[in-house]
Structures are given as C-alpha cells and as structure tokens.
Amino acid sequence: MIKSHMARTLFFVIILFFSMTVFVRAEENNVTPYGDYCRDCTIYGTCKEIISPRVAVIALGRYYRVKGYRLGAIYHKGRFIEAEIFKDDRRVDKVLFDRKTGRLRSIY
C-alpha cells in the first residue's frame, strides 16, 4: 500500500516537473506577442502615414534592443518588412511589420 502511494506521488512529481519545463520553454519563445505594435505609430493599428523602410527598421531595432534582442536579415516586401530576430547567435523569431498600421506579428 505504501509503495503504491509512493509510486503515485513520484509519478505526479515527474509530471509536474515536465509540465513546468514545457511552460518555461514556451515563455522563452514568446519574443513577439501576437498583435504587438511599434510605438512609432501613435495609436495601435493606425499610423498617420506609412513610415519609410528606413524609419521602420530603426523602430524595429529599438523595439527589440530594449528586450535584449537584435535584428538579423531584413527584407522589404511592399508596405511590409520581414525581419529575423536573434538572441546572441540563435534565431528566436521571424516577424512581419506593417509600415502602414505599425502592427507587428511573429511568422516563425
């Protein structure tokens, strides 16, 4: 009886440990919250005018630098900018930035 209770307790401790590990790993990968925006646009989703690619890259760089990340390869696609995000030498995210609305979302 005691062995079975001990085995069950050990089983639940192991499950708890692995579930916490998965939770922590998921939190690490949440570099760009869904629907976030760069503060260079005054109100979420609305810029007064489309920002230039140069200003957009500066805004993205500032946004991620504050969080401890850096920009990698950057591609311009019409009004959108696609950028790779790095932590140290590891790519942790790939984002799409809409220069018209200021919206930023992960596409990784």
* Whether the predicted model's global pTM rises above the 0.85 cut: no
Cβ-Cβ contacts under 8 Å for 48 (sequence gap 6 or more): 41, 42
pLDDT, position 91: 93
Q: What percent of the chain has pLDDT over 90?
A: 26
Strand bridging mode 70-77 / 36-37 = unpaired
Q: What is the pLDDT of residues 37-58, one digit of tens each?
A: 665 555 555 566 788 899 889 8
pLDDT, position 27: 44
More confident residue, 63 or 12: 63
Cβ-Cβ contacts under 8 Å for 65 (sequence gap 6 or more): none
